């Protein structure tokens, strides 16, 4: 049974930091590119960051560049999102997602649309407020 379980969300003041974790099970984690998305109330789900299955390449949405860092630990089947200098605009439910490795891909393919992902977690709430 495939599972993606996010944790680490919560309430934080503007300028603060949070580290989200996503524990995966039920599929070969090291063969999947992993991404983070978020969805604010009344808005569509949006891409935040992605890390290749090779752990060698990453890509971020513009608002996350310089503030967020995505990483993965294949030994622990876990992907992380370190978020620094958080702002109220970052308030959302954050989801991790898994995208199966494409044939022939050497870690260059970095999907950033929801449709390219096969598995999703249930999400963790992040609220940035004073």
pLDDT in tens, the chain (130 residues): 999 999 999 999 999 999 999 999 999 999 999 999 999 999 999 999 999 999 889 999 999 999 999 999 999 999 999 999 999 999 999 999 999 998 888 888 999 999 999 999 999 999 999 9
- The span from the CA of 59 to the CA of 18, in Å, is 19
Alpha carbons 73 and 86: distance in angstroms, whole number = 24
How many degrees, rounded to 5, is the angle at CA 98 between CA 21 and CA 93? 50
Cα separation, 102 vs 106, whole angstroms? 9
**Residues 72, 79 contacting (CB under 8 angstroms):** yes
C-beta separation of 17 from 80 below 8 A: no
């Amino acid at each position: 049974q495939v599972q993606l379980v996010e944790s680490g969300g919560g309430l934080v003041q503007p300028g603060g930091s949070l580290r989200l974790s996503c524990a995966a099970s039920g599929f070969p984690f090291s063969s999947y590119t992993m991404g983070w998305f978020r969805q604010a109330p009344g808005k569509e789900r949006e891409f935040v960051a992605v890390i290749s299955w090779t752990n060698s390449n990453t890509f971020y949405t513009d608002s996350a560049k310089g503030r967020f860092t995505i990483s993965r630990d294949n030994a622990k089947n876990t992907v992380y999102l370190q978020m620094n200098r958080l702002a109220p605009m970052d308030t959302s439910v954050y989801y991790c997602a898994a995208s199966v490795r494409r044939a022939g891909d050497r870690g260059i393919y970095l999907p950033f649309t929801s449709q390219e992902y096969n598995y999703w977690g249930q999400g963790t709430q992040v609220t940035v407020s004073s």
